[in-house]
Homo-oligomer: A and B are copies of this chain.
Amino acid sequence: MTNGHLDIIERAASLFGELVVAIAVNPEKKALFEVPERLEFLRKACGHLDNVQVDYFSGLTVDYAKVQNARIIIKGLRAISDFELEFQQALMNKRLNNEIETLFIMTSPEHLFLSSSLIKDVVGWGASPDGLVPKVVEEQLLKKLRNRAGG
């Protein structure tokens, strides 16, 4: 979770009555943090946003959206390469459930370079995560990456 994600969440929360921020759990992809840790990060970083609920799910996003009675999926767009994959995904989702629409919000320019993998890289090599990730993530990220480096 980066400051780019948090910015998208805060802006989306200000536009809609209710917002569910959900982690899509993919058992085949190995994330740096476990789902409970990531939920904890989200909960703390979104603590100031009253209309935001934090959750996780596995399965199809449109199925999860339906369970939540959500008509809108909000995604952040950062770059051309995002654009293409998200376009494919949005078309597929529309086909799977025509009732649900994906809306895109552009990343703020100061967060354009905040990809999770780039942050892991530079923090792993000793750069400070200050300003790149929410405060609640910083300490855990340092612990995780420095341990790994020393392992």
A136 touches B (CB below 8 Å): no
- Given A60-B127, A122-B92, A126-B59, residue A109 in contact with residue B106 (CB < 8 A): no
Q: Are the C-beta atoms of B127 and A96 separated by less than 8 Å?
A: yes
Chain B residues whose CB sits within 8 angstroms of the CB of A74 once the complex forms: 103
Q: How many of these chains are in the complex?
A: 6
A30 touches B (CB below 8 Å): no
Query: Considering only CB atoms and an 8 Å cut-off, how many residues of chain A contact the other chain?
Result: 43
CB distance from A95 to the nearest CB of B (A): 7
Chain B residues whose CB sits within 8 angstroms of the CB of A79 once the complex forms: 84, 88
Q: Indicate with 1 or 0, residue by residue over A87-128, a CB within 8 angstroms of chain B CB atoms.
A: 111111011100001111110111011010010001001110
- Given A71-B15, A118-B89, A126-B60, residue A104 in contact with residue B106 (CB < 8 A): yes
Interface on A for B, CB 8 Å cutoff? 11, 14-15, 58-60, 63, 71-72, 74, 77, 79-81, 83-84, 86-92, 94-96, 101-106, 108-110, 112-113, 115, 118, 122, 125-127
Sample 24 A-B pairs with CB under 8 A, ordered by A number: A15-B71, A59-B125, A63-B125, A74-B103, A77-B83, A77-B87, A77-B104, A79-B84, A80-B80, A81-B81, A83-B83, A87-B112, A87-B113, A88-B113, A91-B109, A92-B118, A94-B108, A96-B122, A102-B106, A104-B105, A104-B106, A109-B110, A109-B112, A110-B110
- Taking A87-B113, A103-B103, A104-B105 as given, write out 15 further A-B residue pairs in contact, using a Cβ cutoff of 8 Å, ordered by the A residue number: A11-B101, A15-B101, A60-B127, A63-B125, A77-B87, A80-B84, A83-B83, A86-B106, A87-B106, A89-B113, A90-B106, A92-B122, A103-B104, A110-B110, A112-B112
